Structure 1
Amino acid sequence: MNSRFFLKGDLSLGELHDIFELDVSEDRLQAKLKQHQSFPEDLDVNQLKLFLEECGITYGLLEETVQRIIAEKVELPVVVAKGKSSVPGKDAYILSIFDQVTTKLDDGDKNDQEDVNLRKVLEIPSVSAGTIVGKKISATKEQSGMTVYGEEIPAKPGRDLKLRAGKNTRIASDETEIIATVDGQVSIEPKVIHVFPVYEVNGDLDLKVGNVDFIGNVNIRGSVPSGFEIKAKGDIRVHGTVESAKLYSDGSIFIQQGVVAQGNGRIEAKGDVQAGFLNQANIVAGGNVNVSKSILHSEVDAKGCVICKQGRGNIVGGMVSSGKGMEVNEVGNQMNTPTTLFLGISQHFVASEKKYKKELNEAQADLQKLGLLLKRLVDKEKNSSLTPKEKVMKLRIRNSLVETHNLLNRAKDQLIDLHDLFENQEEATIRVYKMVYPNADLHFGKYRRKITSPHEHVVFRMERSEIKFESL
């Protein structure tokens, strides 16, 4: 008698299929046993395990649960097997001096939580030449998972990071630390750290100062009135408010009070934008947008996350777009003000992808040309001495090669980030910690969901081409 088809007491597996049903989750990480009719008193643990094996369960069997089923100490349906989720490796990243300073501030300053984040970034200390301004934290190893059917679930490995020297920084010989080469103030990008000189205005920006265009960090101790323009290669820090002015930064922008722009002006950063509040503002950020109190009737476009949950934490009116996800206390208001949220890739970042592809192709072509020119000069130098003009040219070519390599690496990094953003759109969520009111319009890519009734403590996500929500 074949034990695969017949059990003790002439109870066949076919009969057990009449008694039990196995429900396996879509991700195959959980198997639940259901019961259609009473099972015989002489059914034992081995018979039930053989039935589960016949159903394909080879991993994660909960032995104790199986015994409790036979002893009738647990009600069915019940989970009888659990798989193991895969754990992706964490990407390598740079721990900056700024991260270390703000961690210390977090430990020591627990009051006035709405303003603590902006206070610490506005007061970031200057560094001297030779200071370690960043350290590489290595990628972690991925861990594969396993379904209840014994199938391996591969995990995405953590991506390594090659440290690059920024403006006025160098890489240590062990390639794990970034060191300042001049005195200045740190400006942090996701994969590179710069040290810039600081241009400081001790008060409001006015006609005596005029517009600012500076190669380093800009620190405004007061406010920025309407009509003014600030451009900075580093970060821009404003201790007061920004009216309908234009601020452009190759780093990040921090505004302690907030923005009152009346729908005019523009604030654009390649890094993060952080502010106390936004009122009728126009914001574009290559990183995150973090607002302490409120985002009111504003247009916000962030490649990263939009976070508004420290104070009132509400988004009312306007259009807010995020590439990676949103966290907010309230969406809309009791007056049902139309409020539109976009999750996914905006046209702005599709255009960015085209731009960086063009930069990458141009840098590759330039490297090839420069390499040929340098080779000719080096070959000539082997046979005869170079003229003074040729020596200068050789030095310029080498400098151009270094600069072009930096441009190439920067374009590659940006394209990798955008690729990850496109790839992980379905993982992005909108988390609402308090209330989302009617007349809020949620867009996940080409899909849309109009909120017609209030919901509390919910998270919205895309699932099988449909925007669904569940309780937090």
Structure 2
Amino acid sequence: MSSPVSFRVSERDVYIMIDAGTSPSDVKAEALQKAWQASEFSAAKLLDPQMLTQTATKYAQHFSKDSNKSIHFQVIIAEIFDADLKLQVSDDDMKVTASGIVGYGGKALTQEMIISALREKDITSGIQRKGIEALVEHTNEAPPGAEMSVTVAKGKHPINGSNARFKPLVDDARKRVLRPQLREDGTADMRDLGAQVTVDPGQPLLQKIPLSKGRPGFTVFGQELEAMDGEDRDFAPGEGTKISDDDPNIIIADRTGLPSFNGNSVQVDDVMQLNNVDVSTGHVKFKGSVIVTGNVSEGMKVTCTGDITVGGYVDSAELYADGNITVQKGCIGRLLNASETGEHDEDADDWIPEVSTKLVAGGSVWCAYAQYSFFDAKNGVHTNKQLTHCHVVTKGPLAIGGEGKAARGKLIGGTIETSDHIYCGQLGAPAGTKTRIYWSLPPHDPQAVSHLNHLRSSLAKLIARAKTLQQGLERCKSLEDEAKRVQYQQKLHGELKKIKSRITTTRISIDSVLEAFETHPTLRTMVSREVFPGILFIFKEKSLRIKEHRNGTMFLLEDKQLRVDSLL
């Protein structure tokens, strides 16, 4: 027996039809719902969730009139909708997001439909096939009305080339001198700093890695995004070196000596060796490195362009080196003019000792111990036992008796000026000896400053170019030949769009570098054993005074604030 209920479609509308004379009891809401679910149009969208109930009621009203009992009943109950596709292009033209909504009984999306929609918007580059396939599968498999968003096209950002760089092929002798060697038990022997690095003529020292070209990118519209090539840097052979005849990207040694590196340059220093420096030798001034197996006596000066290594003591003498200074034993000095002026006050907050022993290094300083000595070392000061009443100026770390929690040396009295970490086992003395630590912020990375200057120069050129293009567009308006005017305007508009995109990217890069300049790494003074009263930390106008005895403690300069923390 056939059902008295059937359905038909006219354009997008779905009609329900009930045979004439059918009793309302045979077409109640439940029966209509069952027939609807069994029909081929059940995926269409009902005009109302209660549409079938409303239809049963309407039919009963229709049937109640005798004149209607012989008339077929039909009414629109649903609509058919095809799957919907929307495309959204990002502001920078680098990504296209497609949103697909599953249709109601209509056609699902196909790959051809999506690609055609992209082409209508001139989106031709970076098409993401997997995203398109996922969207097609969604509109075929998901329930009606379900929405899904995927990336269907993606541009490629330009990749700037790398600058030419330089790779050392041997150890830097200056750094090697100050590298403590490990004992068999794994601990560092602060007295054994390793053998000095020497090279022979013809030995490769420094390799130039050439610049790389930039790789251009593109937008989803196929517009090419220009990439900058890396910057070239010249090779600069220093004294005692030359460019290899076999490879123009290699610098080799031209004599025997100690190699030292400075960015794109390397030099090999000759070495002067003396037993002692005293009145019998006079002051020493040497273009190279100096090794003194014995002592440097009172009143003597040693000046060199390389490293200074002293096997004995430095007693009220002055050492000046462009590289590192190593004193295997101790540095002993005294206060100058103390008995004559009587003006020095070692307990004053701003007291800086004027002392007779001075070590000034362009690299690092290492010694066994020191008292009443002045150290000015760019890359840090390392002492094996203790510093007493010394004045230290450095941009590098100050390590006394080791680094980190392993430090066991003593820092007592004097004034420390640094922009890096300090490590010691004991800070101050039971007598409350005033010890001052002046912290300053680390200097900006020279490469970052150079990069910022390059970005600013590039931005100025881009802005000038944009201004020239704008002026060209204004001049185009006066052209009488319409075809040429339109041609020139299109060309200038296209180039101006590229320039504006590069201006935006460059400004973002500049803001990123400037934001990095506003931050600074956390500076620490790590005291592994004891801290005594009389310690004063100073950063600009801020100060932190320690008035009580403490066990192992961490002092920090964090976010430009001085604070105390436990040593975990």
The yes-or-no answer on 1:227 pairing with 2:299 is yes
Partner residue, 1:97: 171
Q: Which moved more, 1:238-247 or 1:456-465?
A: 456-465
The yes-or-no answer on 1:260 pairing with 2:326 is no
% identical aligned pairs: 24
* TM superposition shift of 1:426: 5.0
* TM superposition shift of 1:320: 1.1
Partner residue, 1:337: 433
8 Å CA contact retained: 1:338, 1:439: yes
TM-score for both structures, normalised by structure 1? 0.53
Aligned counterparts of 2:205 and 2:420: Cα–Cα separation in 1: 28
Aligned in 2, Cα 1:186/1:465: closer, same or farther, shift over 3 Å? closer
* TM superposition shift of 1:345: 5.3
Aligned counterparts of 1:223 and 1:420: Cα–Cα separation in 2: 50
Deviations 1:277-309 (A, max 9, x none): 111101111111111110110001011111113
* TM superposition shift of 1:95: 7.1
374, 389, 400: which one aligns with 1:282: 374
RMSD of equivalent CA atoms: 4.0
The yes-or-no answer on 1:459 pairing with 2:554 is yes
The yes-or-no answer on 1:126 pairing with 2:198 is yes
8 Å CA contact retained: 2:241, 2:267: yes
Partner residue, 2:539: 444
Aligned counterparts of 1:452 and 1:342: Cα–Cα separation in 2: 18
The yes-or-no answer on 1:167 pairing with 2:262 is no
Deviations 1:323-379 (A, max 9, x none): 222122211022211111112159xx99xx9xxx9xxxxxxxxxxxxxxxxxxxxxx
* TM superposition shift of 1:454: 2.5
* TM superposition shift of 1:126: 2.6
Aligned in 2, Cα 1:258/1:109: closer, same or farther, shift over 3 Å? farther
Q: Which amino acid counterpart does residue 336 of structure 1 have in structure 2?
A: G
Aligned in 2, Cα 1:237/1:105: closer, same or farther, shift over 3 Å? closer
Aligned in 2, Cα 1:462/1:338: closer, same or farther, shift over 3 Å? same
8 Å CA contact retained: 1:98, 1:124: no
* TM superposition shift of 1:463: 3.7
Deviations 1:32-85 (A, max 9, x none): xxxxxxxxxxxxxxxxxxxxxxxxxxxxxxxxxxxxxxxxxxxxxxxxxxxxxx
Deviations 1:246-303 (A, max 9, x none): 1111111111102001121321111111111111101111111111110110001011
Q: Which moved more, 1:248-257 or 1:183-192?
A: 183-192
Aligned counterparts of 1:116 and 1:440: Cα–Cα separation in 2: 29
The yes-or-no answer on 1:197 pairing with 2:265 is no
Aligned counterparts of 1:252 and 1:214: Cα–Cα separation in 2: 14
Aligned in 2, Cα 1:134/1:335: closer, same or farther, shift over 3 Å? farther
Aligned counterparts of 1:117 and 1:182: Cα–Cα separation in 2: 27
Matches within 5 A, 1:32-431: 96-98=170-172, 106=181, 113-118=188-193, 120=194, 123-133=195-205, 164-170=236-242, 179-187=252-260, 193-201=266-274, 203-262=275-334, 263-310=355-402, 312-344=408-440, 425-431=520-526
TM-score for both structures, normalised by structure 2? 0.45
8 Å CA contact retained: 2:166, 2:263: no
* TM superposition shift of 1:461: 1.7
Deviations 1:430-457 (A, max 9, x none): 2222222111111233321001122333
SS, match of residue 268 in structure 1? strand
Deviations 1:401-458 (A, max 9, x none): xxxxxxxxxxxxxxxxxx9998665522222222221111112333210011223332
Aligned in 2, Cα 1:111/1:324: closer, same or farther, shift over 3 Å? closer
8 Å CA contact retained: 2:332, 2:357: no
8 Å CA contact retained: 2:408, 2:528: no
Aligned counterparts of 1:181 and 1:191: Cα–Cα separation in 2: 17
Aligned counterparts of 1:321 and 1:421: Cα–Cα separation in 2: 24
Partner residue, 1:155: none
* TM superposition shift of 1:116: 3.6
Aligned in 2, Cα 1:302/1:318: closer, same or farther, shift over 3 Å? same
8 Å CA contact retained: 1:93, 1:161: no
Aligned in 2, Cα 1:438/1:237: closer, same or farther, shift over 3 Å? same
Q: Which amino acid counterpart does residue 323 of structure 2 have in structure 1?
A: G
Q: Which amino acid counterpart does residue 294 of structure 2 have in structure 1?
A: G
8 Å CA contact retained: 1:330, 1:436: yes
Aligned counterparts of 1:280 and 1:103: Cα–Cα separation in 2: 22
Aligned counterparts of 1:245 and 1:435: Cα–Cα separation in 2: 32
SS, match of residue 277 in structure 1? strand
* TM superposition shift of 1:193: 3.9
8 Å CA contact retained: 2:369, 2:386: yes
Aligned counterparts of 2:268 and 2:412: Cα–Cα separation in 1: 38
8 Å CA contact retained: 1:285, 1:301: yes
SS, match of residue 181 in structure 2? helix
Structure number with the bigger relative contact order (C-alpha 8 A, sep ≥ 6) is 1
SS, match of residue 276 in structure 1? strand
Aligned counterparts of 1:290 and 1:420: Cα–Cα separation in 2: 33
Aligned counterparts of 1:282 and 1:294: Cα–Cα separation in 2: 14
Aligned counterparts of 2:279 and 2:441: Cα–Cα separation in 1: 39
Q: Which amino acid counterpart does residue 440 of structure 1 have in structure 2?
A: I
Q: Which moved more, 1:455-464 or 1:332-341?
A: 455-464
Aligned in 2, Cα 1:345/1:190: closer, same or farther, shift over 3 Å? farther
8 Å CA contact retained: 2:522, 2:558: no
Aligned in 2, Cα 1:423/1:178: closer, same or farther, shift over 3 Å? farther
* TM superposition shift of 1:114: 4.5
Deviations 1:6-54 (A, max 9, x none): xxxxxxxxxxxxxxxxxxxxxxxxxxxxxxxxxxxxxxxxxxxxxxxxx
Aligned counterparts of 1:240 and 1:285: Cα–Cα separation in 2: 20
- The alignment covers a number of residue pairs equal to 291
Aligned counterparts of 2:515 and 2:387: Cα–Cα separation in 1: 27
SS, match of residue 255 in structure 2? coil
Q: Which amino acid counterpart does residue 358 of structure 2 have in structure 1?
A: R
